[in-house]
Structure 1
Amino acid sequence: MRLALPLSVLLMLTPTASGVEPRPVLGDRPEIRAEPVLLDASNPSRRQVGALTYLGGLALTSPDPAFGGFSAMRVIRDRFTLLSDGGNIVDFRMGPDLQPRDVRFADLPGPGTGAIKRHRDSESLTWDPRTGRVWVGFENRNAIWRYDATLAHAERNVKPAAMADWSIAGGAEAMVRLRSGQFIVFSETARPTGLRDARIVLRFAGDPTETKSAPLRFAYVPPAGYDPTDAAELPDGRLMVLNRRLSLSGLFTAKLSLIDIRGVRPGGVVRGAEIASFERPLLHDNFEALAITQEGADTIVWIASDDNGQFWEQSLLLKFKFDGQAKSPLPVKGTG
């Protein structure tokens, strides 16, 4: 029998991960240890997984006990910012040698007092390359906050009415600011009426903390048994979506899908084209963070994992080149 429930739901069944425990906060001595990892330990020469070529990866650790739990990230040239689901920020520079340097730890301000974990349940992050502004999606509160480029100062926040009935464990799990200025927000678990295999997605015409118009609502169908955890825009305008599954047989596995939301109508349903699957014997963990960058003509895909503060999970940071031009299905009119 296979168990396929959102991790956030399973963790809420235990008192130590319910969100009412004290929030671990990073200290003032930033230190990262980075150990290279193989894509396939049983075949060290393997580099290919679906439409991706593995360029290298790291298992990140730190003497600081609050380190880890990464649910979102930003990559700008050689600057990496990892955001945990407890509002901890790990920032560093990293070049082709895949060794972090100039490490900085910080604490994300707001919402709430930050005394307990659910006050900083930050699950998604996106930014504007022109202004540097950053938007963070919070579960538990079903809110979106806007920050300055340094993530040190909160500017605005909103609890969108369209997200008000999302469960505390199904909030803004993935959020993308498109180059057009529109924002796409995925719920991890909220389902449209009559579409049990789909997840609700919102498209805001602009900055969600400022726009007065209601977002367009449509549905995304992830791979069977999986939930969306992050998304990023490709240079051609399609979205790459990271999907995760927790099962008794495979623990954490993940799949990457491509979707095309251009022209999607209210109530439309978008189905993805799978381009990579992470399961045995390949590296697989609680993959929650996704970023896309460019290196010359190459499209680079970064994936990071949330270790949930557990010894049997890892904080992985993996680098791939996107090789394929896999075609994702066009949106079709739905009833959600």
Structure 2
Amino acid sequence: MRSIAVLLFCAFVLFVVWFRSQPQSASGSQDIAFCPIAAGQGAAKALAPLRLVGAWQLTGDPALVTGLSGLDVLPDGRLIAVGDRGAQLVIVPPGLTGPGARAGHDVRSLDQLPGLPKETDDTETVAVDPATGRFWTAMETDNRVVLYAADGSRQADIDPAAMEQWPKNVGPEAMARLPDGRFLILGEMREKGTDRTFPVLLFPGDPLGGAEPEQAHLAMPGDYKPVGAAALPDGRVLVLGRDLRFPFSFFSLIALIDPRTIGPAALVRAEPVAAIRGGVLSDNYEGIAATSGADGQLTVWLVSDDNQQQILQSTKLLKLVADPADL
């Protein structure tokens, strides 16, 4: 009976994780609704030293405001999110003032090359150049990195040789552009060996420049997998981890790594910072972004991927703040 129960649970998990509703045509709507989520003290305590200052469920164009997997901050303060079906959302977060707020939301599809298979729309992560607004994405289906201009036009593509052998469905899941211009890319598949690590690539600059990256190994706490990354002003990197637990609960972890520990074949250990352990905030968080304000306080954003199904998952946006000295 226990074996049957395990098999049924595995089948259910596969259905929820891999099932996708039929693609819908974009409506052209630029509206995004923010429905506040009330979180209890227990959720806030688990997030310390990060402080929860806002939580919302997002709804909008059902073809595009869905399946969000990557997140970063644009120079004008708006958020840019990318998704599993090639969505590109520029979001005015609640409370934003100035030019970004006046510019409004921008809901559209990523500029894709004609003739590419539809599955190559599966965009998992995004990294922004804060000086120019250019941004890079990575797609796990064909292990590709793409550069876009600030206006969203596609500029160049590359399939890095270091990612050629990565499996198609667990390829580049997280990417961050470090303050010094280097790029960090994390793979989602576990490597062979007792450490159960994940692949790390540290490029000396833009991956499209063709330089070979340093290759290392990331050890995540417990059964967490790396699904997002965000660089801090001091050069450290927040890594977002995800763990799916029985019967069907998403647990999320925010951890820290220091790129100075990355070298050829190095073992890099992610140190836990904060967690989401069930409750009303729990969801399939895959995107993380970080920015520093004029007061020196750090703002961290999280976005969840609903897998385009609305079954036990939704599109949530969280806003967290912290003193960098506490991390």
On the 8 A contact 1:136/1:145 being kept in 2, the answer is: yes
- For the residues of structure 2 that align with 1:268 and 1:307, how far apart are their CA atoms? 34
* Distance in structure 2 (CA, Å) of the matches to 1:109 and 1:195: 41
CA contact (8 A) 2:72 2:79 kept: yes
Q: CA deviation at 1:183?
A: 0.7
How big is the alpha-carbon RMSD for the aligned residues of Structure 1 and Structure 2? 2.9
Aligned partner of 1:297 in structure 2 is 296
Instruction: Indicate the SS of the match to 1:123.
Output: strand
Q: Secondary structure at the match of 1:169?
A: coil
What is the CA-CA distance between 1:239 and the residue it aligns to?
0.7
> TM-score, with normalisation over the residues of structure 2?
0.86
* One of 224, 229, 232 as aligned partner of 2:230: 232
Counterpart Cα distance in 2 of 1:37 and 1:264: 38
- 1:249 is displaced (CA, Å) by 3.1
CA shift for structure 1 position 13: 8.1
Q: Which residue of 2 aligns with 1:334?
A: none
Contact map agreement 2:250 2:278 (CA 8 A) in 1: no
SS in 1 for 2:185: strand
Q: Which residue of 2 aligns with 1:90?
A: 89
1:262 alignment partner AA: R
Deviations 1:69-100, CA, capped at 9 Å, x for gaps: 111122234312221111112223235279x8
Corresponding position of 1:258: 256
Cα distance in 2 for residues equivalent to 1:133 and 1:65: 24
Q: Is the 8 A contact 1:305 1:317 kept in 2?
A: yes
Q: Give the aligned length.
A: 313
Distance 1:25 1:137, change over 3 A: farther
2:278 maps to 1:285: no
Q: What 5-or-longer segments of structure 2 have no aligned partner?
A: none
Q: Deviations over 1:81-131 (max 9, x none)?
A: 221111112223235279x88222111122454673x12010011121223
Aligned to 2:169: 169
User: Is the Cα contact below 8 Å between 2:70 and 2:228 reproduced in 1?
Assistant: yes
Corresponding residue number in structure 1 for 2:129: 128
Residue 36, structure 1, aligned to residue 36, structure 2: yes
Residue of structure 1 in register with 2:145 after alignment: 144
In structure 1, the gaps of 5 or more residues are 328-336
Aligned partner of 1:217 among 193, 215, 230: 215
Does the 8 Å contact 1:51/1:324 carry over to 2?
no
Higher helix share: 2
Q: Relative to 1, partners in 2 of residues 1:12 and 1:44: Cα closer, same or farther, differing over 3 Å?
A: closer
Q: 1:120 to 1:23 in 2, by over 3 A?
A: farther
* Per-residue CA distance 1:41-95 (angstroms, 9 max, x = gap): xx49956623211111111012535421111122234312221111112223235
Specify the SS of the correspondent of 1:246.
Answer: strand
8 Å Cα contact 1:232-1:241 kept in structure 2: yes
Q: Alpha-carbon deviations, 1:126-166, whole Å to 9, x = none?
A: 12122322110001100101110122x11111111110111
Q: TM-score, normalised by structure 1?
A: 0.84
| Equivalent position of 1:333 in the other structure | none
1: CA distance between counterparts of 2:149 and 2:286? 23
Letter of the 2:143 counterpart: N
Match of 1:59 in 2: 57
Aligned residues of 1:111 and 1:120 also touching (Cα < 8 A):
no
